[in-house]
Amino acid sequence: MNLEQATLVEVADAIRAGRVTSREVVEACLLRIARWQPSINAFVAIFAEAALSAADRADAAVSAGSARGPLHGVPLAHKDMFFRPSRRSSLGSGAPPPVGAAQSSLLARLDAAGAIEIGTLNMCEFALGPTGHNAWLGDCRNPWHTDHIACGSSSGGGAAIAARLAYGSFGSDTGGSVRLPASATGVLGLKPTNGRVTRAGMMPLSPSIDVPGIFARCARDVARLLGCVAGHDLRDARISRLPVADYEGALGRGVAGLRVGVPQNHFLEGTAGDVALRLQESLSALSALGVEIVPVTVPAPEHLTELSRVLVYSEAAAIHGPWLREHARDYSPQVRMRAATGLAIPAAAYQQAQQLRPEILRRFVAAVFATCDVLHLPTLGIPVPTLTETNVGGSAAMWQKIAVLVRCTAPFNYLGLPALSVPCGFTDNGLPTSFQLVGRPFAEATLLRVAHAYEGVTDWGRRAPSLRT
Amino acid sequence: MREIDSNAVLSLARAQGHDWLDEAAAARVAAGAAAATAAVTATLRAIEPGLLVADAADFLATLEALAEPRG
């Protein structure tokens, strides 16, 4: 078995069947991490000994006929902001504040499914940044070309999965922080519906908006990971009790007859020519699969990102305010300014942005999903920029640079809708690009079904970067 | 309506104990806060709700009510 080429599901099934051992899989990942880490800085910590011990226990369980769950023996790695009582997460900070000793519900569910945590991943400071720069932990770099950003804030997730350093990863998505790094590195990135996946024991940035998201190399892998963590959690009051779909089972239902909507306003404005070409090619491929491509006018999209920011910055200021007041120098300039923005947003504006949210969602769903089943738009409308081009720190260029990056992602954080970034080729600079699918609330199975069908007629997800030495 | 400016930001920040903000940082914060707040004002105008009586706590229930039909 070629462990570098194999997907998460293929490896999980092979371990369970005894065709490969978990130790062999973990050792292969550790070898690749040792080779790649100096170039891309995807990891914050590597748990080599603990992961090998866990792999041996997993192999013993397989021999005894008592494999734990659908991720038995599979090495994963996650953004360094999911808590375990036994360790202190960096939160992407050089001087992380104390956060208590909560256990992440999400990690507990992955443990129960048999997954092995091989390390923790780089991230932007306090998950507040779309580029992947980190003044404290070092910048995470794009494995396709290390002069370029891996995007953020879950920067290590995209880089690690693209370079085949682990088989799946969880990050958080508050403005595009999973979808952007996924797009920049050529892997899939899912932001589930708000309320589908528990945040208990995850560092909060903006509790109204935060959602854990998934990085993986194909739709089936995303489906398996989502199935392991989705569903109600008594420790998170904002999680739905709606039944969890059979995401893997739904993949094979085909897409003929589905309507894929292409926005006629806002989202495609400013899209670079080479990105637009890849998007058009992906629509042609979907059309050949039998989907109907329909034009859609999106209602009032121009304010959605700023409405999201009202909530994010107000809540970030509330969360960071006491610590920031006393430890401002422990924050990089851009992060402390963005966190402080909430200090100047009127409380009434914050409350109004909250009260408007259900009505704006109703209007959006009624206007868009009466016409189509899923929206198709860019994840990132420009080619992946370099670290130098985006190293604006806290300068006057900060807001404009951020706005360009999150233009097509942040609106769906305010709306709470599920969104999936799917690789669809490369731009002229040799870096990956993607399309984004957005669905009705809790339509993750439909998004994954479209991505799975698309993967069947393209090979973008199977391509891997080469290490340049 | 006047936008939030750097003087207002400095006053608000210092009233909340954030003495670290200087003029340059306050200008950046003001730009962000003004744009965000303006979006709320513009959206309120567009929706024309009269009294804004919606309950923000309805958001999850709204997502559930609008969920894709299972099939």
The two tokens of residue A300 are: 């009032």
Q: Does A333 touch chain B (CB under 8 A)?
A: yes
Residue B66 pLDDT > 80, yes or no?
yes
Sheet with A292-296, strands from edge to edge, namely A169-173, A211-216, A188-191, A419-426, A432-439, A374-378, A259-263, A292-296
Q: Is A79 one of the catalytic residues?
A: yes
CA distance B38 to chain A (A): 8
Q: Does A193 touch chain B (CB under 8 A)?
A: yes
| Residue ranges of chain A with per-residue pLDDT less than 70 | 469
Nearest-5° Cα angle at A36, A152 to A334: 25
Nearest-5° Cα angle at A456, A180 to A12: 75
Report the SS3 class of residue A170.
strand
The two tokens of residue A413 are: 């954080």
Task: Give A-chain residues touching B66 at CB under 8 angstroms.
Answer: 361-362, 365, 440-441
DSSP at A197: B
Q: What is the DSSP string of chain B?
A: -PPP-HHHHHHHHHHTT-TT--HHHHHHHHHHHHHHHHHHHHHHHHH--SS----GGGHHHHHHHTPPPP-
Outline where A142-206 has alpha helix (H): 155-162, 179-185
DSSP at A149: B
Report the SS3 class of residue A371.
coil
Hey, what's the torsion of the CAs at A248, A221, A268, B39, to 10 degrees? 90
Q: What amino acid is encoded at A8 in this protein?
A: L
- The ipTM (two decimal places) reads 0.96
Q: Rounded to the nearest 5°, which phi and psi values hold at A182?
A: -65, -45
For residue A100, the model assigns a pLDDT of 78
Q: Going by C-beta distance under 8 Å and a sequence separation of 6 or more, which residues neighbour residue A406?
A: A130, A175, A176, A180, A305
The verdict on pTM exceeding 0.80 is: yes
Options A104, A105, A155, A177, the catalytic residue = A177
Q: Does A192 touch chain B (CB under 8 A)?
A: no
pLDDT tens per residue, range A173-232: 999 999 999 999 999 999 999 999 999 999 999 999 999 999 999 999 999 999 999 999
Separation of first and last alpha carbons in chain B: 50
User: How many CB atoms lie under 10 A from the CB of residue A18?
Assistant: 11
Query: Are β-strands A419-426 and A188-191 bridged in parallel, bridged antiparallel, or unpaired?
Result: antiparallel
Residue positions counted in chain B: 71
Residue B71 pLDDT > 60, yes or no?
no
The two tokens of residue B71 are: 């099939």
For residue B2, the model assigns a pLDDT of 67
pLDDT tens per residue, range B7-59: 999 999 999 999 999 999 999 999 999 999 999 999 999 887 688 888 888 99
Q: Which A residues, 218 through 277, put their C-beta within 8 Å of a C-beta on chain B?
A: 238, 240, 242-243, 245
For residue A181, the model assigns a pLDDT of 98
- As beta bridge partners, residue A45 has A120
Say which residue the tokens 């920031």 belong to: A324
| In contact, A377 and A271? CB cutoff 8 Å | no
Options A89, A104, A153, A282, the catalytic residue = A153
What does the radius of gyration of chain B's CA atoms come to, in whole angstroms? 18
Q: Does A194 touch chain B (CB under 8 A)?
A: yes
For residue B31, the model assigns a pLDDT of 93
| In contact, A242 and A197? CB cutoff 8 Å | no
For residue A397, the model assigns a pLDDT of 87
Hey, what's the torsion of the CAs at A389, A339, A132, A46, to 10 degrees? 160
CA distance B23 to chain A (A): 12
User: Between chain A and chain B, how many beta carbons pairs sit less than 8 Å apart?
Assistant: 157
CA distance B57 to chain A (A): 8
Task: Give B-chain residues touching A337 at CB under 8 angstroms.
Answer: 25, 28-29, 32
DSSP at A244: P
For residue B19, the model assigns a pLDDT of 95
